[in-house]
Structure formats: structure tokens, C-alpha cells
Structure 1
Amino acid sequence: MPDRPAGGPDALRAALRGVRALLLDLDGVIVVAGEAVPGAAAAIGELGRRGTSYRIVTNTSAVSRATLSRWAAKLGTAIPPERFQSALSASAAWAARVLPGQPLYVLASEDARTEFAGQHLLTHEAAGARGARAAAVIVGDSPEEATFDNLNRAFRLVMAGAQLVGMHRNPWWLTAEGPTLDSGAFVAGLEFSAEVRARIIGKPAPAFFSLAIGDLRREVGRDLARRDVAMVGDDVRTDVLAAQRAGLRGIFVLSGKHGPADADAAATERSGRRPDAIAPSLTEVVAALD
């Protein structure tokens, strides 16, 4: 088994040497179970004072970036909407680029659908009409939308030829009420029933990281290399190892839903990869930057 990454501030500083920008997960790094992670707001503020570019990259698909920004402000963390890249916003950008003007059936909240402004979205009634067709069925997290009727409409559209798109594949997430089913479960159910493979837009898809890097380059400069960027996350596979496969550095923090045992488990799998470093929280990561 590959050696465990060395711990301590010196090891973390070594892993972050030369980093010019950060990608930060939301759940488990900035917030956990609906509450701010201690020290996260101050760490974000310190990034601003340093002039370090960052993006919040999250598989959150329930609400728009504007709503995420307002929610973060209520928790004491000032993050403008344009610093968020969500599985939702990336899905809307993908649809606008690949399927311009074509009918889409988007299973997401009313607020989430604002990210698709200007695109051709089918109503539930139109999606359920006899002979209805769509270019894509796009599934996000929205408990009130994930009814049998709506999922059945999505299933029929996929059976009629629509491409199945999952904003992400997360099976569950941690809320104030405890572990909660996420929309990846519905994507998997539609895949099983329709016997298709969904296109996944959010993490761990390499294109999701590429989109974020492109956005950072517009701010930092076109010479920003992938190894100049570190992904900070609490999910070893979806955040850290996925970022490493995309050419970024990966820093695993222990402030979320996973612990060191997850890094050990990941290292026993085929890739044998481990995080570049492990830190208690974002506070220590920011303190270790050059």
C-alpha cells in the first residue's frame, strides 16, 4: 500500500508550494450539515486579503448560485455568485453549448431552473404529453420534483431517445437531519430502468474541473497550469482523487463527512492514489499557502 501522506504543517506547506489558486468544495469544507465549518469564513476572508483566486466547486444542484451566495452570507461567509461553480450551473452551460434551442426536461427546483435562463425547458405537462420528445433529461436535486409522475415522465422521454444527464452522481449527502438521499440515486434508477448510461456533468467528471480551470485562467492568467491549482475537499474520491486525475493537486480535509480511513480505502483500490496532503480544515490549508 502506498505510504500515508505525511501530516503536520510542514508537510502541508510542501504539498501546496507553488499553488496559485484553489478549488474548494462547499459541503464539508465551508459548511457541514447546514452550519458553517469553524474558521471557514475567516479562511475565505484571508484568501481575499492575500489576493488568492479561488472557486467554490460543488455538486449542489438544488439551488442557483445566487441563492448559494445569499445562504453563505447568512452563515457569515461573503462569496459572490460568480465564485461558485455548481453541478447545476455547469449543466446549464453544457446544455446551452451542446443543445442550443432544443427541448430539455429539467428535474430541478424553480430556483435551480433559473440557471437555464433563455433555454427551452419543457413543463411537466408538456413532458408528459403523448408523443413528447426532448433532447435531454437533466436530473438535479429537488425533493419536491422527484415524484413518481415526474420520474416516469423522465423515463418515457429517455426511452423515446432523450439523452439522460445527471448533474452529479452523489448517492447521499449530510443535512441537519442526517444522511439524506441525493439525486444520484434517481439517476441510477433511470439508468437501470431505461438501460442507458447517463452523462455526468459534476464532480468527478474531468470536464467539470476543466471548466473551473478555464474560469480561473480568465482571472489569474492563461499561464495558470493545472498543477498550480489545488482542490480542497472532504470526499477522497469525488473531490481529491478526481482532481488529481485531472492534473490538479488534491488536499483532503477532515472537517466533513469522511476521515483518514477513506484515504486508506482509496489507496487499496486499483489506482493506489492518495491525497497530496491531509489537513484538519480549510484554516490550516490557507495558513500553509506561500
Structure 2
Amino acid sequence: MKLHTVLLDLGGVFYEGTRLLPGAQDALARLRASGLALRFVTNTTRQSRAALLLELARLGLDVATDELLTPASAARTVLLERGLRPLLLIHPGLAPDFAGIEVDQPNAVVVGDAGDHFSYAGLNQAFRLLQAGAPLLALGRNRYFKEADGLSLDAGPFVAALEYAAGVSAELLGKPAPALFAAALRPLACTPAQAVMIGDDVEADVNGALAAGLGGILVRTGKYRPGDEMRLATGGRLADDIGAAVDSLCLDQGTR
């Protein structure tokens, strides 16, 4: 089946920290020229959507607002639809994405990558709410991510701690949740079999996409570690970087 849509992770694929990865701009330009539909699907939860778009522009990456999907936007929709008042365990940089959401007397818990802003008091408040029956909404389950000085803990370990302590299961709103991949493809009238996901996280990006019926390509940049390819689900592919991944798409377009 012919390829219609490419879903792309951002951090670790196009850039690391504030540094654009070699060949990233050229790879994006080639994807644009191909006529394929593009969507950028990130689990980044330290920046608001607006701040992330500005950062991408500063790096020279041309990404339109409607091309960017984030877990925070999905969480906002869920909170409003269900009338939930969240305890927000999030990074202050993400706060603008929850502006106007009622947070007094919380009856739900939302966890993102709060970084240094995680505290025992906040986690304990979340634990007590969960024990009282509040739902746990996770913006991501990523174990770690790549920063300029090395790997750092992501939101996943904190979500797992709350699940374990309270005996609950989180509702995942970021990758690898099948609903996020479906939401990315729905406006494009694209079936999963006509799409591929490119990312540096073997679990959230690639195996998540494969489980949802998409193709998946793992790049050896960002958080990739030797041996990750051994955890690839059936059908997953490997590429040295985003440029090599785009090369493989060009070769495959006639047969997908």
C-alpha cells in the first residue's frame, strides 16, 4: 500500500537540547517535497505548545500549528469533556496549555514531566486523591529522555510510582497510546497501514506505532541505546538517523 502519512517524533530525532542534529533540515525539506502528509507527535511536556513551536522555528524547523500533536492538548480535551478538576503535576513551562481549567478541589491527577518541580508533598497529595477514586491521567510513560549532558528521568517513573502506591492504572494520553496515533491520522483520512512513525524511543514511538497498525522506524539518535533494536516488535525497522529514515521511505514508497 502506498505511503500517505509520516508521523515524526521531534526531540532526539531532529534535535537534542538546543542543537539541531546533522541532516535534520534537509530530511524535513525532502519530506515536504515528497508531498507526503506530515504530523509531529511528541511526548514533550516541559514546554507549552506555543513555546515548542517558537523553539522549532528558532532551530529552523518549519512546523505548522495544526501539524503538532501533544499530550497536553489531549489532556485538556479530556478534562473539559469530563468536567474534571486536575491536580497538575507538570512543569511550569506547560502551564499555559491548561490555562482556564478549573483546579480548585481537584478530583483528578495529571502527571507530566515536572522535572525539578516534582516534590514529595505534590506526589503525596496525588496519592491521596487517587486512593479516594480520582483518575490518573498520564501525559507520557517514557522512562527517560536525552538532554545535552546525558539521559534524564522522564514522567514514566513517577507515573509508575503512583500506580504502584495507589493500586491504580493510569490512562495514557501520550505515545504509545493507540488513541494518539489515531487522532493524528483521522483528519488526514489515512489508514494506519498507509502511515509510518519515525522516532528514537523503541517503546513509545516505534512499538507503539506498530501495535496501532502503522509502520515504524527507530533512529539511532537521541535516547537510542545499543541493543534497543533487539526490542523492536515485528515489522520495525532501524535507521542511522532521520536522513537515513527518509532515504528508506523514498525507496519504499512504490511498495507500501
Give me the TM-score of the superposition, normalised by structure 2: 0.89
Task: Choose which of 133, 148, 156 in structure 2 pairs with 1:184.
Answer: 156
Gaps of 5+ in 1: 1-16, 123-131
Residue-by-residue CA offset, 1:96-135 (whole Å, 9 max, x unaligned) = 33x13x311111134412222442224xxxxxxxxx4x33
Task: Choose which of 234, 238, 253 in structure 2 pairs with 1:273.
Answer: 234
Matched residues in 1 for 2:203 and 2:219: separation?
A: 13
* Equivalent position amino acid for 1:65 in 2: R
Matched residues in 2 for 1:274 and 1:51: separation?
A: 24
The Cα of 1:70 is off from its aligned counterpart by 0.9
Q: Indicate the residue corresponding to 1:39 in structure 2.
A: 23
Residue-by-residue CA offset, 1:199-239 (whole Å, 9 max, x unaligned) = 11111111111111124x1xxxx3x2211111011222221
1:135 has 2:107 as partner: yes
> Which aligned segments of 4 or more residues in structure 1 are displaced greater than 4 angstroms?
none
Q: How many residues align?
A: 250
Gaps of 5+ in 2: none
Matched residues in 1 for 2:241 and 2:116: separation?
A: 33
- Bigger Rg, structure 1 or 2: 1
Q: Contact 1:167–1:202 at 8 Å: present in 2 too? A: yes
Matched residues in 1 for 2:55 and 2:130: separation?
A: 34
Q: Contact 1:108–1:139 at 8 Å: present in 2 too? A: yes
Q: Contact 2:151–2:223 at 8 Å: present in 1 too? A: no
Residue-by-residue CA offset, 1:173-212 (whole Å, 9 max, x unaligned) = 1111211111211111111221211111111111111111
Matched residues in 2 for 1:43 and 1:227: separation?
A: 22
Q: Contact 1:241–1:274 at 8 Å: present in 2 too? A: no
Matched residues in 2 for 1:260 and 1:74: separation?
A: 31
Q: Contact 1:65–1:82 at 8 Å: present in 2 too? A: no
Task: Choose which of 129, 144, 147 in structure 2 pairs with 1:157.
Answer: 129
Residue-by-residue CA offset, 1:121-166 (whole Å, 9 max, x unaligned) = 24xxxxxxxxx4x331000112243112222221222122211111
Matched residues in 2 for 1:237 and 1:143: separation?
A: 21
1:116 has 2:98 as partner: yes
* Equivalent position amino acid for 2:8 in 1: L
Q: Contact 1:60–1:88 at 8 Å: present in 2 too? A: no
